[in-house]
Amino acid sequence: MGEFELIRTVFAAAPCAQGGEGVALGIGDDCALLDVPFGEQLAISTDTLVAGVHFADPCDPFLLGQRSLAVAASDLAAMGATPLAFTLALTLPTVEADWLQAFARGLNHMAQRCNVRLIGGDTTRGPLCLTLTVFGRVPTGHALTRSGARPGDLLCVGGELGNAAGALPLVLGQRNAESFIAEPLLAHYWSPQPQLALGQALRGKATSALDISDGLLADCGHIAQASRVRLLIENERLPISVALQEFLGDAPAQLAALSGGDDYVLAFTLPPVELPTLLGDGWPIHVIGCVVEGQGVGVLDAQGQDITPATHGYQHF
């Protein structure tokens, strides 16, 4: 199968590549064309996933397709953006039709969940590598950023922490677990759910936000630096799943929640006055700390003592 036949039969034929609202021109020309309504801005983010670094190789191609797009779309959620479209640059060592069809099904499954359209990309030969660029739209001046946190704000997250880090020994085949433990952890790793609706609900309310990809401590450090404040996390308030506690034990589960990557839930700062309405609307918000004057990120135990671990999260270099 040649490059253009691959694009035409596997990707251009997928339901998620058939165009939709905001897509004026999709796959087939040198560029795609997107329509952005007056009074809105284009939000753009790129993620690269490398075999053996970001995912096990070999792995299930359907699950990889799901995960690769979810990881990228989570950046749109972090900005409060409404998804529009994405591109895929796919580097493959060989062309295997069954692998490609399964990957495309997983990609399409997540694309339909996120309501985002495939509009182009590239294919080439080499070590397995995926680069996805996502496009979204957000009302001008209402994008969530990392730089607005203020002393007195609450520090919040949008869901359980550490599940994907807990799943890693299962993904790598280093450990086994009963299905009631393994299944929710593996589901979080292979099929994270970008919190797009929550991000949009936080527009005009949250003072800063991002998605947790490298670990809670590491990513909260970006908010602290951009906003020139200090974030304090109360260890006892971390939302940790029963499956993670059963699998790792209490102390390792807390460390996974603090420093493990690949959560893809939102972390954000919020004026206390905004919390009751958001909770009343049913959003899955967990208050885990607060914003104070200073710099950096700290973790406090139940007695208020600093127990910040040395490892803050994943780093490539």
The 10s digit of each residue's pLDDT in 224-251 is: 999 999 999 999 999 999 999 999 999 9
Whether residue 171 is contained in a domain is answered as yes
User: Which phi and psi angles does 276 have, rounded to 5°?
Assistant: -60, -40
CATH number for position 209: 3.90.650.10
Q: What mean pLDDT is predicted for residues 94-117?
A: 93
Whether residue 192 is contained in a domain is answered as yes
Taking the C-alpha atoms of residue 291 and residue 230, their distance in angstroms, rounded to an integer, is: 6
In eight-state DSSP terms, residue 81 is P
Whether residue 317 is contained in a domain is answered as no
For 182-229, what is each residue's pLDDT tens digit? 999 999 999 999 999 999 999 999 999 999 999 999 999 999 999 999
Buried b (16+ CB within 10 A) or exposed e, 258-285: bbbbbbbbbbbbbeeebbeebeeeebeb
End-to-end Cα spacing for the chain = 37
Q: At residue 317, does pLDDT exceed 50? A: no
> In the predicted model, what is the mean pLDDT of the chain?
92
Q: What is the pTM of this model?
A: 0.92
179 and 120: one domain?
no
Q: Tokens 């590491």 identify what position?
A: 218
Domain of 270, in residue numbers: 154-300
25 and 85: one domain?
yes
36 and 131: one domain?
yes
123 and 178: one domain?
no
List the beta bridge partners of residue 294.
none
Whether residue 120 is contained in a domain is answered as yes
The pLDDT of residue 2: 59
E strands, the chain, are: 23-25, 33-34, 40-50, 82-92, 117-125, 129-139, 154-157, 208-211, 230-234, 266-270, 286-292, 296-300
CB atoms within 10 A of CB 175: 13
Residue 98 neighbours by CB under 8 Å, 6+ apart = none
Q: What mean pLDDT is predicted for residues 285-291?
A: 98
In eight-state DSSP terms, residue 237 is G
The pLDDT of residue 284: 93
Whether residue 180 is contained in a domain is answered as yes
The pLDDT of residue 313: 60
Count of structural domains within the chain: 2
158 and 277: one domain?
yes
For 22-32, what is each residue's pLDDT tens digit? 888 888 888 98
Whether residue 147 is contained in a domain is answered as no
Q: At residue 10, does pLDDT exceed 90? A: no
For the chain, what is the radius of gyration of the CA atoms?
20
Whether residue 149 is contained in a domain is answered as no
CATH number for position 21: 3.30.1330.10
Q: Indicate the range of 10-24, 118-132, 236-250, 285-299 predicted with least confidence.
A: 10-24
The pLDDT of residue 4: 58
276 and 229: one domain?
yes
Identify the helix (H) or strand (E) that includes residue 126. Answer: none
113 and 170: one domain?
no
Whether residue 61 is contained in a domain is answered as yes
The pLDDT of residue 158: 97
296 and 161: one domain?
yes
Q: What mean pLDDT is predicted for residues 76-101?
A: 94
Q: At residue 175, does pLDDT exceed 70? A: yes
Q: What mean pLDDT is predicted for residues 61-82?
A: 97
132 and 167: one domain?
no
